[in-house]
Amino acid sequence: MHILQIGKHAISISDVRDIKVQYDYQKNEIYVDLELNGGVQLSLNLPDSLAFMGEFIQKIKEEKSI
């Protein structure tokens, strides 16, 4: 079970049910909204969105053996 620190929250990656990603390529910004088990929703700021996406990309690489 991998734990990601988001602001003051410790979130288990396995608790993430869905994500919504909004980005602005011209401004170099990406924002993530998380839906967690139990219906909790979190809107992440830019630094936390980048941290989450880094973890998510790593998870994909490991699961797909890339």
Structure tokens at 28: 């170099």
Nearest to 40 by CA among 60, 11, 63: 11
pLDDT confidence tier of residue 13, bands split at 50, 70 and 90: confident
pLDDT confidence tier of residue 8, bands split at 50, 70 and 90: confident
Domain count, the chain: 1
Question: Where in the sequence is the domain holding 24, given as residue range(s)?
Answer: 3-64
Query: What predicted TM-score, i.e. pTM, was given to this entire model?
Result: 0.84
Give every strand in the sheet of 16-24, ordered side by side: 16-24, 29-36, 41-43
- Using CA atoms in the order 23, 49, 61, 36, what is the torsion angle rounded to 10 degrees? -110
Give the single-character DSSP code of 20.
E
Per residue in 44-55, pLDDT (tens digit) is: 999 999 999 998
